[in-house]
Chains A and B, each alone.
Chain A
Amino acid sequence: MNQWIILFNKEMKEAIRNFKWIWIPLVFILLGIIQPVTSYFLPDILKNFGGFPEGSMLEFPLPTGPQVLAETIGQFGQIGVLVIVLAFMGIVAGERNSGTNIMVLVKPVSYVAYIVSKWLHMSLLAISSFSIGFLLASYYTFQLIESVPISYVIKGAVVYSIWLLFVTTLVLFFSVLFKSNAGVAALTLGITIIISLMSSITPDLLRWSPGMIASHSHSIFQSGEAGEYFWLSISCTIVLIILMIILSIINFKNKETVTHTT
């Protein structure tokens, strides 16, 4: 147990020195504030710059609270995921290239602890950034637009954070598998985009897919109830996360023992 805490602290220290604990939460906070504020000012902006003919009486309805929250989740799903993937693409691959992991692994450190402590740290950073960003987003939505029942907001956010966990696990998995940072980032982003696109195009075929989570959290914001087959996609995602962690550990073990013996 002791070794897990030490490895986790090492990750923590590295991320603090890299300022990851400052800039990633700040990016999420920015995204979370910008979305409600632009939705609030959208009618004004369109009126002033929309180029509508003089005297045309167009009324732009203010979006509802759940809509704004769903749009914020959409921003997190695009820019937020991009930032998380780019920030963590080198989590194993970068250490392997620079040789840091050899310094760690000459000590009697278990491979399981090495990978799992990395995963825990990444997920903690991603989830806390998301939570603080979303907290501010809902605060601004409540102030500017309208309030949404708080239990809906919390439920939706918890559901969405499972998708973020899936993304961080995917980064870790590819980072163990491949050498180049850019390859890791491209593959992870490609797969997350394909999964979410496919799930929105053919929702009937992909009821189980992790990409459905975002739409489930949207419907929770609207009505407090998730869509159909909610538990199926949640349990599938959790199983996939656990599988990917186990596969990363096995892969990492094989790669390291091969490089050590040759």
Chain B
Amino acid sequence: MNEILLELESIPWGLIAPLVIIQLILLVVALVDCFRHNNTNGPQWVWVLVIVFGGIIGPIVYFIFGRRND
């Protein structure tokens, strides 16, 4: 248990935090857009899965290919 805590403390969170925050912003914006925009390119639930589990790439792929602009 102690080892895990030490390991966690050794991670420089100050460096990682901005990455996590930006990733979260991308995820939330993509999800909000996906739910609001009902005509996605393909089934909506697939895009929700892609956004949530796609890591950094997921929201970007959704923005490029998932939206149908009309």
Closest 4 CB pairs of A and B: A86-B64, A23-B63, A26-B22, A26-B26
In the bound complex, residues from chain B placing their C-beta under 8 Å from that of A40 are 15
Q: Sample 22 A-B pairs with CB under 8 A, ordered by A number.
A: A18-B67, A19-B63, A20-B63, A23-B30, A23-B60, A26-B22, A26-B25, A26-B26, A27-B60, A30-B19, A30-B22, A30-B56, A33-B19, A37-B15, A37-B16, A40-B15, A83-B60, A87-B63, A90-B69, A94-B69, A98-B69, A144-B15
Residues of B within 8 A of A144 (CB): 15
Chain A 20-32, CB-CB to B under 8 Å as 1, else 0, gives 1011001101100
Whole-angstrom CA separation of A144 from B67 in the bound complex: 38
Distance of A87 Cα from B64 Cα, bound (Å): 6
Q: Contact check, B29 vs A34: say whether CB atoms are below 8 A apart.
A: no
Q: Mark A76-89, 1 if CB is under 8 A from B, else 0.
A: 00000001001100
B70 touches A98 (CB 8 A): yes
Question: In the complex, are the beta carbons of B29 and A19 less than 8 A apart?
Answer: yes
**A residues within 8 Å of B by Cβ?**
18-20, 22-23, 26-27, 29-30, 33-34, 37, 40, 83, 86-87, 90, 94, 98, 144
In the bound complex, residues from chain A placing their C-beta under 8 Å from that of B29 are: 19, 22-23
Pair B23/A30 contact, Cβ less than 8 Å: yes
A residues less than 8 Å from B22 (CB atoms): 26, 29-30, 33
A33-B33 CB under 8 A given contacts A18-B69, A23-B63, A94-B69: no
Contact A19 B60 (CB under 8 A): no
Q: Which residues of A contact B70 (CB under 8 A)?
A: 98
Q: How far is the CB of B33 from chain A (nearest CB, A)?
A: 6
User: Given contacts A18-B69, A87-B64, are A23 and B15 in contact (CB under 8 A)?
Assistant: no
Shortest A92–chain B CB gap in Å is 13
- Bound CA–CA A144/B56 (angstroms): 23
- Whole-angstrom distance between the Cβ of A18 and the nearest chain B Cβ: 7
**A86: which B residues are within 8 A, CB to CB?**
64
Q: At the interface, yes or no: B18 with Cβ under 8 Å from chain A?
A: yes
- In the complex, besides A19-B63, A87-B64, 9 extra interface pairs with C-beta distance below 8 angstroms are A18-B67, A19-B29, A29-B22, A30-B19, A30-B56, A34-B19, A87-B63, A94-B69, A144-B15
Q: What's the nearest-Cβ distance from chain B to residue A62, in Å?
A: 15
Give Cα A53–Cα B16 distance, bound, in whole angstroms.
29
Instruction: Find chain A residues with CB under 8 A from B15 CB.
Output: 37, 40, 144
Q: How far is the CB of A14 from chain B (nearest CB, A)?
A: 8
Contacts of A19 in B (CB 8 A): 29, 33, 63
* A33 surroundings in chain B (CB, below 8 A): 18-19, 22
Report the bound CA distance from A14 to B9 in whole Å: 45
Which residues between 22 and 62 of chain B lie within 8 Å of chain A, taking CB atoms?
22-23, 25-26, 29-30, 33, 56, 59-60
